[in-house]
A = this chain, B = another copy of it.
Amino acid sequence: MSLPHALLTSLIEKPSSGSELSARFDRSIGHFWHASHQQIYRELAKLEQAGWVESFFAEEGERKKKTYQVLPAGREELKRWLSTEENLQPVRSPLMVRMRAAAVVGNNGLLYELERHLAQHEEKLEHYLALQKRDQARFQGTSTAKVQMMILESGIKLEYYWIKTIKEALEVLKEHPEEIK
């Protein structure tokens, strides 16, 4: 499970409250490990319990926000975790499962669903490309920045993969019967 360590990473980058983390997750590390705000609040409480982070209420002026920051023990835990083994994440691709089903019973409206996913991946790609452009402009030349940009590029290539795959699937499935038997 990567959530606690994804949160530690994000909090090292910048101490934050639950809601800030939740928002920030959606546009950074959450591209590789999604989490809902409910999960984040629960997990933050656990991290604090474990002594890996501490929290304080941010001063007046803004709404009251419970801000978390990583303690040395949390940083050590993150380092420890980096060298642990974890096998490949089992693949979970509902679209592929649907295509396999379509192979034996016919399309039955799957083309529309594929188009919808294609649009979602295209949107995601646009979003990533915009991030990349922004980051290149700000680029500091540090090793950390280089690694971060490499990760973003991997995300971009994954979207290209999906877009190409879905387009090819559409071509093949358009020739496939709407209904079998």
Contacts and interface: CB of A to CB of B under 8 A. Distances in A.
A105 B93 contact: no
A98 to B, nearest CB: 6
A104 interface: yes
A79 B105 contact: yes
Interface stretch (A15-23, A47-55, A61-69, A84-92): A84-92
A143 B91 contact: no
Contact of A97 (B2, B102, B154): B2
A8 B102 CA distance: 12
A154 B179 contact: no
A34 interface: yes
Interface string A112-153: 110011001100100000000000000000011011101100
Interface of A: 2, 5-6, 8-9, 12-13, 29, 31-34, 75, 78-94, 96-110, 112-113, 116-117, 120-121, 124, 143-144, 146-148, 150-151, 154-155, 157-158, 161, 164-165, 168-169, 172-173, 175-177, 179-181
